Amino acid sequence: MYIMDVPIKTNINKKIKYLAFIKTYGCQQNVSDSEKIENVLSAMGYQITNVKEEADFIIFNSCAVRKNAELRVFGNVSQLRKLKKKKPNIVIAICGCMTQQSHIVKKIRKDFEFVDIIFGTNTIEILPKLIKSVFLKRDIKNKKFAQNFKDINFKPFEILQKTDISIENLPCKKENKIKTFISIMHGCNNFCSYCIVPYVRGRELSRKSESLLQEFEKLVKTGCKEITLLGQNVNSYGKTLDKKISFTELLRLLTKIEGDFRIRFMTSHPKDVSKELIDEIVSNKKICKHIHLPVQSGSNKILEKMNRKYTREKYLKIIDYTRKKAPELSFTSDIIVGFPSETYQDFEETLSLVKEAKFSSLFTFIYSKRKGTLAADMRDNVPYQTKIQWLNELLKIQKNISSNFYQKFLGKRVRVLLEKEKNKKNIAFGKNSENLTVYIEDCSEFLLGKFVQVKIISQNNRVLRGKILHKNS
Ligand code: SF4
């Protein structure tokens, strides 16, 4: 269903300013979903606020990937109890990956009875209907309204586990953004043993290349300079489409669009990376020279238990092949420490892989059991203190590797997209193609959103500072 076909008849009077607050947890996919939620709310007449306390509608877009993220959501929802007492007319919603799980929904219903709306990851288009239901519920006390109400199939909690998602048609209103995201696919078929995503986001489904091209072209025309293609495993893009197309072919199509822009993408799965894809990334000027390639572990024993379907040798081969063609291309990765049955010897293999791969930065996580996953049935036998020790050891090693990677850019010219004016002293910042942040002094506001040539004049750990060489580059 196309969102604009949903009858949006809420009690919202256009003259009255209604404010909505959106809090996003977790990955870029959630950030992209929140963008869609923002568009839906704007279409309804809401204005977005950053101040939770002044909002009439509060929505938490939750993440279920790690226990910590889940605890944070519960903690923050619990704090809303006071606000709801003070402002009983406020509407509170929770959506995202957490609410795709029935035990979580039960907990929310039991412990946070003041939450009005719960919905999942694939049903953003019904948000207006859900908000309307809440308004109608409140108006039931009003005799005038009671009659209308009979006709409405009203559910205060509407938890939908829909899988036939309308992925092509959610509203795209992203004008005047310097950078943004496009979801090219949804769900995942990989079932890594520690991961809840395939259960909460469903099976892999790619969007048609025609609709992606249209959306992409529109964004470029409105001045967008950097577009990140999102998917749980972008390398398998196109496999579910009738008209087969590979991710490399999609990249070729999108980069043929006229305009000065660049493309990023995430996340890549090592098992699906091809030489053809690497060759395209290396040779195509519009594709950023950065690949986020989660390895998770350097031990083949642990990789097998994680159901990752590649070996450390295959992973390192990809890095080696790429670096021979593009020595400065930046690789980043994810690593889980303390997976069930992991020994120090396994962990040492991770350390040796990290030293060999020379990532520009790493996202490190302590293993946490997720109910319903395959690994949840494995004995979590690594003591928490050991996990912390391993994590610290890993971080210490990576710190030097990152610093050495950044140092390579000292004295070099890089092309930076200026994203944000940082402070009153006119220090702005942006990223280069390798996804490294560059701070630039003496930068004026009118350069925001422009590509500039910058000379890197200093480096300290992961901080690069530079001076602008050419304003139009
Ligand atoms: S590829 Fe693995 S880790 Fe990534 S979303 Fe799918 S199951 Fe989870």
Atom of ligand 1 nearest to the CA of 308: 2
Which phi and psi angles does 187 have, rounded to 5°?
75, 180
Query: Rounded CA gap, 99 and 127, in Å?
Result: 14
Q: Where are the beta strands (DSSP E) in 17-175?
A: 18-24, 46-48, 57-62, 91-96, 117-118
Q: Is the dihedral of CA 114, 165, 69, 430 positive or negative?
A: negative
Check: CB of residue 219 under 8 Å from CB of residue 258: no
Atom of ligand 1 nearest to the CA of 296: 3
Distance 188 CA to ligand 1 centre (A): 6
Neighbouring residues of 313: CB distance < 8 A, sequence distance ≥ 6: none
Residue 402 is predicted with a pLDDT of 97
Check: CB of residue 84 under 8 Å from CB of residue 116: no
Query: Rounded CA gap, 280 and 98, in Å?
Result: 37
Check: CB of residue 380 under 8 Å from CB of residue 373: no
Residue 132 is predicted with a pLDDT of 76
For atom 8 of ligand 1, which residue has the closest CA? 195
Distance 190 CA to ligand 1 centre (A): 6
How far apart, in Å, are the Cα atoms of 446 and each of 261, 420, 430, 441, 469?
Answer: 18, 11, 14, 14, 16
Question: pLDDT per position in the chain (473 positions), as tens?
Answer: 233 333 333 444 445 578 999 999 988 888 888 988 998 888 878 899 999 999 989 999 999 888 888 999 999 999 999 999 998 888 899 999 999 888 899 999 999 999 999 988 877 878 887 887 777 776 544 434 334 433 333 333 443 344 444 445 554 555 558 999 999 998 999 999 999 999 888 889 999 999 999 999 999 999 999 999 999 999 999 998 998 899 999 999 999 999 999 999 999 999 999 999 999 999 999 999 999 999 999 999 999 999 999 999 999 999 999 999 999 999 999 999 999 999 999 999 999 999 999 999 999 999 999 999 999 999 999 999 999 999 999 999 999 999 999 999 999 999 999 987 766 667 888 999 999 999 998 776 678 889 999 999 999 999 999 999 865 55
Distance 289 CA to ligand 1 centre (A): 23
Q: How far apart are the first and last CA of the chain?
A: 43
Check: CB of residue 272 under 8 Å from CB of residue 235: yes
Most informative mutation of 204, 233, 295, 296 for ligand 1 (most atoms within 8 A of CB): 233
Atom of ligand 1 nearest to the CA of 191: 7
Distance 470 CA to ligand 1 centre (A): 42
Residue 176 is predicted with a pLDDT of 59
Distance 267 CA to ligand 1 centre (A): 9
Most informative mutation of 269, 309, 310, 363 for ligand 1 (most atoms within 8 A of CB): 269
For atom 4 of ligand 1, which residue has the closest CA? 232
For atom 1 of ligand 1, which residue has the closest CA? 190
Query: Rounded CA gap, 244 and 2, in Å?
Result: 25
List, in sequence order, the alpha helices (H) in 123-274. Answer: 127-139, 143-150, 197-201, 209-221, 247-255
Distance 294 CA to ligand 1 centre (A): 10
What residues does 21 pair with on adjacent strands? Answer: 58
Distance 375 CA to ligand 1 centre (A): 13
> Ligand 1 site: residues with CB under 6 angstroms?
188, 190-192, 195, 197-198, 232-233, 269
Tokens of 197: 């995503």
Most informative mutation of 66, 186, 195 for ligand 1 (most atoms within 8 A of CB): 195
Distance 191 CA to ligand 1 centre (A): 6
Distance 192 CA to ligand 1 centre (A): 5
Residue 27 is predicted with a pLDDT of 86
Q: Domains in the chain, start-ordered, CATH in brackets?
A: 3-150 (3.40.50.2300), 174-288 (3.30.750.210), 289-408 (3.30.750.200), 413-470 (2.40.50.140)
Helix (H) or strand (E) holding 399: helix 384-407
3-class SS of residue 264: strand
The candidate with the shortest Cα–Cα distance to 112, out of 86, 146, 78, is: 78
* Distinct helix (H) and strand (E) counts, the chain: 14, 18
